[in-house]
Amino acid sequence: MLFLFDIDGTLFDNEKRVIQESTVKALQKLKQKHKIGIATGRAEFMLYSIKEIISLIDYFVLINGQIVKVGDRTIFSQPIAVELIEPLVRDFDKLNLAYGFEGELDEAVSRIDDGVIGSFDILALELPPINKEYYLERNVYQLWVFCSPEDMTTLARRHPHFQFIRWFERGYDVLPVAASKSEGVKKLIKHLGIDISEVVAFGDGDNDYELIADAGIGIAMGNASDKVKSAADYITAPVSEDGVFKALKHYKFI
């Protein structure tokens, strides 16, 4: 079996800003018999929050499936075309919204406001530099917009080729509609020569929904959104209550 874990709210307890000791020990034991991967909205340079377990990770599905790596080797990479980004940026500016860009090696935002500060603080991430023209200089794999649900609804209506996935009160990932962690995982398992039925996936956020639904076994954390729980085969305890450890014990994987 291949085990894939989301980071924030799954491996990483964002409130306590730690990986639970039970999670570390569970992954160490799991690694003795199985391959382990992460499936995250983060880019590789943002993985410092899980540095104590990074040596256990074999596979990386990054930026919500936009980059897939086997060890140090990139097997899939899908940046967003500049001509698709420009209409979004124009609308963000028209609505006076803060926004940002996620690249493979770094990131940038248009400005720093309360929405940006809150969204990055909850993930225990450093604030990005300001560079509104980042997308003209580097490949962009995902955008962010920091706005109200009402503004998000307006943007989603104007830009039907993009999806807006909430990750904090005023923070949204902005991706092409065809992109998802699940699509990235499909690239990985094709490379590995295994079937999706051989995947065990853990997650909690709306960007985990497709993967939890598609995996052979989809496990939602107790702190997961209702949407993710509705797709899960099993709902474990919250991240703060040893949810990863308890689910792996439940299925006798450790």
SS3 131: coil
Which of 147, 176, 205 is the endpoint of a domain?
176
Answer yes or no: do 96 and 124 share one domain: yes
Answer yes or no: do 125 and 156 share one domain: yes
Provide the mean pLDDT of the chain: 96
Residue 195 annotated as catalytic: no
Domain holding 88, by residue range, is: 82-176
pLDDT tens over the chain, length 254 residues: 999 999 999 999 999 999 999 999 999 999 999 999 999 999 999 998 899 999 999 999 999 999 999 999 999 999 999 999 999 999 999 999 999 999 999 999 999 999 899 888 888 888 999 999 999 999 999 999 999 999 999 999 999 999 999 887 788 999 999 999 999 999 999 999 999 999 999 999 999 999 999 999 999 999 999 999 999 999 999 999 999 999 999 999 99
In 126-206, where do the E strands start and end?
142-146, 162-168, 171-176, 199-203
Answer yes or no: do 203 and 155 share one domain: no
Cβ atoms of 4 and 38 closer than 8 Å: yes
Answer yes or no: do 166 and 213 share one domain: no
SS3 236: coil
Answer yes or no: do 134 and 245 share one domain: no
What is the C-alpha R_g of the chain?
17
Residues with Cβ within 8 Å of residue 59, at least 6 apart in sequence: 2, 4, 35, 36, 37, 38, 68, 69, 70, 71, 188
Which of 160, 176, 192 is the endpoint of a domain?
176
Please state the domain count of the chain.
2
Question: Which residue among 6, 13, 173, 204 is the active-site one?
Answer: 6
